[in-house]
Structure 1
């Protein structure tokens, strides 16, 4: 089922808030310790947006950086897809606000909600729209300000999340490089294991809901861990099968940066050595849909990706949703 790449990455960009919250800082506000956090998550610090900050500002900065990296102007962009669950408002779509801030006057813009899987879902949607409808310059972005949803007294969740945005600019593939295959999955039977119940029609804004922390992220950590590992391994298996490849063909794996223990469990079961796995969760925490595009930008700008390398990407998020993709760089 291998196919010739039809879309490729022309540029990448990232943006994170200036403020850094370390594990030592968290020790001052909740019953936890650096040792406890590192042992369970691998996280040492995370970037945190100031209260009242707009996600659209982070996303716009990441998108501008991707455009500059590609040498493309904003008015050449004809589609913007933003994966997020923490947009500026319930509506309009934050992507529309980003369109205005960028000056991308010729672009169609919309948000995509798939939690931590939003960026990889967005890649497949973008590819389909480019092939079917002729879009030629497409921004796919993952961005979150999840710390706006955190209960800072819940030590099981507040230590996990950070804020940030990552963007890629896609264009038609001209030289055999690009997106080889994608695989998406979901299972709504487990939507009660990782969720934020506030803000929708079931729990509209009220003093009672605010006092009850209805607007905070809730998670059954052990169950999420179990499903995340099995789903990510399954997604990687499927996407490689579709491409007619095996794990031995991978030059690099970029997993969703949720938790170092999840990453290690996935790579162990999938038999990919850790020296082939990119990890930055220690510096950013779990930035949800932003984690993979942030890592991609770091790799392209700072770590160096050799031409022709086969990169695997895999993620898992609330819903449950999961996804994998193969990219020839």
Structure 2
């Protein structure tokens, strides 16, 4: 198992005279620090945050040269950890991976052992990367919501329903028997959302324009919000008494223009989801559920595989909004 090479290949982004240039580079291995592990990466995935990192977005990555890739799955080849051993299959997502720590667009990653989750049985490394950070975030949102709301309680709203987190949330919730109302700005994706399991479709512009009263007629008992802003405001105001909403995104706006009335008069609960630093006990539980009863039946049909040298072309397509589905990086032939 232990690698005996002196170098490995990585998709490297360098800053030169204000421009960001990417290429495949040979990288040298570094000594392992205490509690670090060296992972032979089998699969990674392309995310929007990776595309930003690869094009010099300093809000994602401060220093260059850098290797993007916020998701990785592979096998441990060296370990200075007591909890993880050589040969263990692991998943690494979020924390600082691919942001200011070299990420999964490489044949090897070297990370603190506490960042790694053992790959569950009945889940392949490719499947783990189809889920990736988006799947983990969706799973955390579903887990926290279902702790308090049951299918028989009523309707569940999911905003940003065609996005990575939203689509997986719709799929998982419907599989668990919930009546899902998908909120989307993409009317042409109605059939796609119905196929995922949504029972009703609400267009985003209609939902954003609801009455500005501090409380609205109850429409849902729970919700998973991925966009923030006016959508989250109206979801909160539209929840039935003791309703629950999780929030994990702010693409619409990070601000909320609300009174405390939904929280005091209806007992609403707002749960924030931070997949980047979420506690390990929740991570382990979520990955276990994604491997079993939460796994979509056609999961492997929702992706296309690429090699290391294909990444730059896919990044450009992603930034142009022309990339559909999940793009999985395959780094080793099994």
* TM exceeding 0.5: no
TM-score bracket relative to the smaller structure: under 0.3
Larger relative strand fraction: 2
Q: Which protein has the bigger helix share?
A: 1
Pair member with larger Rg: 2
